[in-house]
């Protein structure tokens, strides 16, 4: 430890639209702060964009051996490592494999790799979604290196965690579920539901878009089985196909 107050740095892409990741970070921050740690964040896409030297760095070996994923080229591992040296943390938590590079483990700190889930499976699922055009090819291309990364042997001083229990088992990681602080039941007034069913999530996220499409296909059968059934679809950034359905 660097002193009486442990220091934790959470490294993540900082994507404005990644609501699930932001919720995950919020939960992890609460856990660390709850045990008295000082928490800071490094936003990769905002503050550590790659330069020419980063793009020319021979990272193909790391990629081929499953030590990194293609998205690691979207930020500068050199710049991030220099920032970590300045901050002198006790723990560096990389939020998803896209925010991890083996160079970040070169320091007097513990690296925690939070897979959250298996992105290889997520990419394969997205590649099977209809009406997404050329993105299907991109998702298919990303699935393989992510599967290689997930199966590769990790550095002995790297701790792996995941949010899903089955994902944690498949990834040989420790299960750390997503935590959300909610009001106590006594703080809320009881309300009667206005809808029978609720679907909520990011409505531009391909798996959620496909889920809405599936609900649309099932709706005639649902309505026939239970006439008058109502459904509320709620979420940010609905794409046009969701609006039409």
Give the pLDDT score at 79: 94
CB 19 within 8 A of CB 236: yes
In contact, 200 and 233? CB cutoff 8 Å: yes
pTM for the model stands at: 0.78
CA distances (Å), origin 234, targets 35, 122, 173, 196, 199: 35, 22, 32, 14, 6
Give 193-213 as a 3 state SS string: CCCCEEEECCCCCHHHHHHHH
Helices (H) and strands (E) in the chain, counts: 10, 8
Task: List, in order, residues 6 or more apart from 170 with CB less than 8 Å away.
Answer: 118, 150
The label of the residue with tokens 């490094």 reads: 42
- pLDDT for 166: 86
- List strands edge to edge, sheet with 158-162: 38-43, 7-12, 91-95, 110-114, 158-162, 174-175
Question: What are residue 116's DSSP bridge partners?
Answer: none
Q: Could you give all domains of the chain from N- to C-terminal order, each with its CATH number?
A: 7-175 (3.40.50), 188-244 (no CATH)
200 forms beta bridges with 234
For tokens 């943390």, the residue is 89
pLDDT at 176: 93
How confident is the model at residue 186, as a pLDDT? 62
Q: pLDDT 10s digit of each residue in the chain, 245 long?
A: 455 899 999 999 987 666 778 889 999 999 999 999 999 999 998 899 888 777 666 578 888 889 999 999 999 999 999 999 999 999 999 999 999 999 999 999 999 999 999 999 989 888 887 667 788 899 999 999 999 999 999 888 899 999 988 899 999 999 998 877 766 666 666 778 899 999 988 888 777 888 898 899 999 999 999 999 999 999 888 888 888 88
Q: What's the pLDDT at 222? A: 94
């Amino acid at each position: 430890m660097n002193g009486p107050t442990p220091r934790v740095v959470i490294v993540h892409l900082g994507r404005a639209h990644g609501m699930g990741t932001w919720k995950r970070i919020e939960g992890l921050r609460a856990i660390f702060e709850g045990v008295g740690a000082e928490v800071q964040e490094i936003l990769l896409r905002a503050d550590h964009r790659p330069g020419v030297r980063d793009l020319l760095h021979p990272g193909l070996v790391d990629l081929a051996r499953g030590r990194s994923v293609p998205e690691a080229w979207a930020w500068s591992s050199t710049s991030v490592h220099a920032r970590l040296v300045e901050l002198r943390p006790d723990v560096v938590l990389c939020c998803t494999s896209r925010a991890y590079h083996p160079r970040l483990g070169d320091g007097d700190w513990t690296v925690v790799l939070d897979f959250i889930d298996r992105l290889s499976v997520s990419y394969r699922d997205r590649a099977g979604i209809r009406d997404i055009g050329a993105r299907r090819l991109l998702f298919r291309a990303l699935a393989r290196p992510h599967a290689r990364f997930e199966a590769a042997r990790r550095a002995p001083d790297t701790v792996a965690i995941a949010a899903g229990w089955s994902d944690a088992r498949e990834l040989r990681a420790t299960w750390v579920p997503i935590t959300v602080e909610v009001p106590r039941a006594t703080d809320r007034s009881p309300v009667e539901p206005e809808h029978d069913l609720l679907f909520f999530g990011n409505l531009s996220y391909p798996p959620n878009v496909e889920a809405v499409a599936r609900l649309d296909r099932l709706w005639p059968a649902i309505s026939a089985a239970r006439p008058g059934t109502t459904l509320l679809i709620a979420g940010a950034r609905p794409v046009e196909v969701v609006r039409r359905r």
